[in-house]
């Protein structure tokens, strides 16, 4: 991993700064200058790059743990489907990270996307790309849904939610590869300490 270049940071700063000056007028100049100078002092980002998409020993253990939690959703969940979905949910984000040219932490990558320096990698894009990938396997005992928290707010967040066939959204498990920069974070819909999820 390597630190993001100063050129990338300041190019992004210039683009967002100039857009907001045009939108809000010159009176916003001081606020933006101070905000971004503070950001320049405290923000740094590291590239996230994978040489292999095969699961590590630690990731294999995570697959087993997630598979067990998926099986616990309903006695009707197919163990093979639960294993497949768990495996793909944990390993596929590594492919997405490379395709996004990912920079950690997540909010810094968001800044780069919004500045036009990166093409993809916002939370809703992680959710769409992972969710659509999981749907290609056409699981029968598990259903792939999309969740949103704080819709329309500055801290809006999106993720994949897996529910058992015939189950409700509130029974599901949130799959969130954005939150930890491609390392899958998962939790029950109603147990997330940070977000209150609704079906999107």
User: What is the domain range of residue 134?
Assistant: 56-100+120-199
Q: How long, in residues, is the chain?
A: 200
- The whole-number average pLDDT for the span 143-169 is 97
| CA 160/CA 142 separation, integer angstroms | 12
Over residues 127-143, the pLDDT tens digits come to: 999 999 999 999 999 99
Is residue 189 domain-resident? yes
What is the residue whose two structure tokens read 């095969």? Answer: 54
Is residue 175 domain-resident? yes
- The whole-number average pLDDT for the span 72-97 is 98
Is residue 40 domain-resident? no
Domain count, the chain: 1
- The pLDDT value given to residue 37: 44
Is residue 183 domain-resident? yes
- Supply the mean pLDDT for the chain: 87
pTM above 0.85?
no
What is the residue whose two structure tokens read 């700063």? Answer: 13
Nearest one of 135, 128, 139 to 176, comparing CA atoms: 128
| CA 98/CA 150 separation, integer angstroms | 28
pLDDT beyond 50 at 77: yes
With cut-offs at 50, 70 and 90, classify the pLDDT of residue 85. Answer: very high
Over residues 31-66, the pLDDT tens digits come to: 555 455 445 534 557 899 999 999 999 999 999 999
């Amino acid at each position: 991993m390597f630190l993001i270049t100063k050129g990338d940071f300041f190019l992004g700063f210039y683009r967002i700064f100039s857009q907001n000056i045009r939108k809000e007028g010159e009176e916003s100049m001081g606020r933006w200058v101070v905000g971004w100078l503070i950001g320049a002092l405290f923000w740094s980002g590291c590239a996230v790059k994978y040489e292999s998409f095969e699961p590590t020993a630690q990731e294999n253990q995570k697959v087993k743990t997630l598979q067990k939690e998926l099986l616990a959703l309903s006695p009707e969940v197919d163990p093979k489907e639960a294993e497949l979905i768990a495996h793909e949910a944990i390993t596929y984000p590594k492919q997405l990270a490379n395709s996004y040219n990912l920079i950690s932490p997540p909010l810094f990558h968001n800044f780069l996307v919004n500045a036009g320096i990166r093409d993809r990698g916002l939370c809703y894009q992680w959710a769409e790309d992972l969710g659509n990938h999981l749907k290609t396997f056409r699981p029968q005992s598990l259903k792939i849904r999309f969740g949103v928290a704080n819709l329309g707010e500055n801290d809006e967040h999106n993720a994949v939610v897996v529910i058992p066939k015939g189950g409700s959204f509130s029974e599901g498990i949130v799959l969130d590869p954005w939150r930890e920069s491609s390392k899958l974070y998962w939790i029950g819909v109603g147990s997330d300490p940070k977000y209150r999820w609704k079906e999107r």
